[in-house]
């Protein structure tokens, strides 16, 4: 089965498909609707062959269905029929969960995506739980996303923002007790140091997670010493994706 993977972000939409070595992307933004997204994806991938689609969506997804409109895109996502639009089977998942799936190495992993907002997911022995930690209350009138997201970094400056990130990591570690934490998103590169049992994710993790979404045979197969999925050889050979 050839898979088209779509990573929908607040600033860009990235795509890659089985057998392709270079992803393609286009700008998204606060006015992007699902109709526009599908049209643009089909346009830039018109020469690609694929049998199924994985979509990483920047919002709440339950049982493969979008149930809440995104904060950083246009409207119309709830109830949109992606399978009809693409003419192929489609699996949708929260974008943070998809990136977490790509970076998972077994055991209990907490993923935090430091991007436009704050993505989050927890994977325990291969079972994925998308989370919305960014919407937890942080201070009066503000949540974690207000401080740790892109706008929070611009408002606070890099030094204070790094301190907020370190404080949040310590709090989430104590509350959720992960074996390790993976930090993804474009702003993860702004951190100068990593706390213990914490590492940066790879830029390719979100796209790899889209392939793994279809490859999983047993969602609980991964243990603390192994991985539940195989990596496509062509993908590993071209793993550095900007």
What is the SS3 string spanning the chain? Answer: CCEEEEEECCCEEEEEECCCCCCEEEECCCCCCHHHHHHHHHHHCCCCCCCEEEEEECCCEECCEECCCCCCCCCCCCCCCHHHHHCCCEEEEEHHHHHHHHHCCCCEEEEEEECCCEEEEEEECCEEEEECHHHCEEECCEEHHHHHCHHHHHHHCHHHHHHHHHHHHHHHHHHHCCCEEEEECHHHHHCCCCCCCEEECCCCHHHHHHHHHHHCCCCCCCCCCCCCCCCCHHHHHCCCCC
The dihedral through the CA atoms of 25, 230, 121, 191 has a sign that is: negative
> What was the pLDDT predicted at 227?
44
> What was the pLDDT predicted at 116?
81
pTM over 0.85: no
- Segments of the chain scoring below 50 in pLDDT: 217-242
Q: Is the backbone of residue 107 left (phi > 0), alpha (psi -120 to 50) or beta? A: left
Q: At what angle do helices 95-103 and 205-215 cross, to 10 degrees?
A: 90
> What was the pLDDT predicted at 222?
39
What are the structure tokens assigned to 116, written together? 């436009």
Under 8 Å CB-to-CB from 37, ≥6 apart: which residues?
6, 8, 13, 28
> What was the pLDDT predicted at 241?
34
Rounded to whole angstroms, how far apart are CA atoms 60 and 193?
30
> What was the pLDDT predicted at 216?
64
> What was the pLDDT predicted at 186?
86
Residue with tokens 């990136």: 99
């Amino acid at each position: 089965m050839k898979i088209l993977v779509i990573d929908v972000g607040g600033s860009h939409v990235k795509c890659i498909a089985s057998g392709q070595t270079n992803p393609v992307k286009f700008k998204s933004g606060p006015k992007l609707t699902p109709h526009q997204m599908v049209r643009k994806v089909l346009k830039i991938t018109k020469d690609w062959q694929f049998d199924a689609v994985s979509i990483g969506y920047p919002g709440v997804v339950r049982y493969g269905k979008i149930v809440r409109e995104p904060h950083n895109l246009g409207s119309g996502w709830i109830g949109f029929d992606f399978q009809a639009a693409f003419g192929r089977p489609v699996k949708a998942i929260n974008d943070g969960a998809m990136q977490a799936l790509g970076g998972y190495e077994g055991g209990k992993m907490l993923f935090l995506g430091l991007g436009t907002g704050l993505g989050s997911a927890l994977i325990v022995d291969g079972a994925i739980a998308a989370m919305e930690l960014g919407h937890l209350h942080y201070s009066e009138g503000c949540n974690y996303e207000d401080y740790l997201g892109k706008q929070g970094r611009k408002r606070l400056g890099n030094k204070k923002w790094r301190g907020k990130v370190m404080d949040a990591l310590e709090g989430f570690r104590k509350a959720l007790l992960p074996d390790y934490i993976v930090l993804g998103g474009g702003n993860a590169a702004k951190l100068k140091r990593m706390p213990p049992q914490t590492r940066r994710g790879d830029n390719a993790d979100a796209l790899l997670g889209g392939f793994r979404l279809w490859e999983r045979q047993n969602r609980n197969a991964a243990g603390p010493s192994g991985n539940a999925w195989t990596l496509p050889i062509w993908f590993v050979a071209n793993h550095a994706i900007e």
